[in-house]
Structure 1
Amino acid sequence: MPHFEVVTAVPAPPDLVFAACLDVEAHTRSMAASSERAVDGRTRGELLLGETVTFQARHFGLTWRLTARITSYNPPRRFVDEQESGPFKRWRHAHHFEPDGSGGTVMKDVIDFASPLGPVGRIVDSVVLSRYLPRLIRIRNAYLASTFG
């Protein structure tokens, strides 16, 4: 299964960064380039354990919907969201937050994903999504970090 990690320095304490990463509206602002919006579940405010949100966005010229549930929640250190329905065979995104020793946060995103369609999906994962998805996470994280800077 494809796996990647993105580490980002954020100039704010872990509790604030943790909350910002669970904020639905902050997420949609960070993904404005793909016209992302929350269309079901919690569509405003901060997600909590067990809650879902359905995002709709345009990627590769197509409109996609992904419903994610918060399946693990340990403020302000870690939470996990997992796809309940959407384009992936599997999507698991663990968010980790550690103090950097100078008032900021080291944020680490750990993502495991897999496309459907067997061998065709594995080719899409290795040729396209293994580059595209880390870039999306870096864009989101740069936006988030800039809101604290």
Structure 2
Amino acid sequence: MIEVVSVIDAVPIRVFDLELDVEVHAESLSDSRETATTSTGRSRLCLGDEVTLSARHFGLRWRMTSRITAYEPPHRFIDEQTRGPFRALRHEHCFEDIGDRRTRMTDRMTISAPLGPLGAVMTRVLLAPYLRRLLTRRAIHIKHLAEARDNRE
């Protein structure tokens, strides 16, 4: 399991909403030319919605579709791969109010690669560290947006 924890100076609902915005997601990973298309055409995801992400990683074009399978505003939501490169991918997003208009945001991602034992080694050596860096980059982006927006209001 990959886990990234961030403390953000903004209320949980603000952080929760930003994490569900596919335009914010694409902005946070712009260097990989990430695009996101939703099943509803809306930019903000809700329970049951699907999003198809397309990006360039490791010099290759990747495409993955995930569905929001749990939705408990402003505390948590889960997205799970329905189609894509992994045997399975589950990403839990948790938002805890820690007082003083601050949120502890925790990303927990579990992945299972295809190719049996070779996939397990690739996951441990290559994919998990790479995905941890992506989650950290996204968390920093969300932190900047949430704190900038929260301080204006």
The answer to whether the Cα contact below 8 Å between 2:18 and 2:146 also exists between their aligned partners in 1 is no
Contact 1:80 1:95 in 2 (8 A): yes
Q: Given that residues 13 and 103 in structure 1 are in contact (C-alpha distance below 8 angstroms), is that contact kept between their aligned partners in structure 2?
A: yes
Separation of aligned partners in 2, 1:100 and 1:41:
34
1:121 match: 119
Q: Kindly indicate whether the alpha-carbon contact (under 8 Å) linking 2:14 and 2:146 is maintained by their aligned counterparts in 1.
A: no
Question: Mind listing any 5+ residue stretches in structure 1 that lack a counterpart?
Answer: none
CA RMSD of aligned residues (A): 1.1
Count of residue pairs brought into register by the alignment: 147
Match of 2:92 in 1: 94
From 102, 107, 118, the equivalent of 1:104 is: 102
Q: Which residue does 2:20 correspond to in 1?
A: 22
Give the fraction of aligned pairs with identical amino acids, expressed as a percent. 45
Matching of residue 34 in structure 1 with residue 32 in structure 2: yes
TM-score, length basis structure 2: 0.92
- Structure 1 residue 40, shift from structure 2 partner: 5.1
TM-score computed with the length of structure 1 as normaliser: 0.95
Q: Which runs of 4+ in 1 moved over 6 A?
A: none
Q: Which runs of 5+ in 2 are unaligned?
A: 148-153
**Per-residue displacement from partner, 1:15-56 (whole Å, max 9, x unpaired)?**
111011000100000010111001452454210000000000
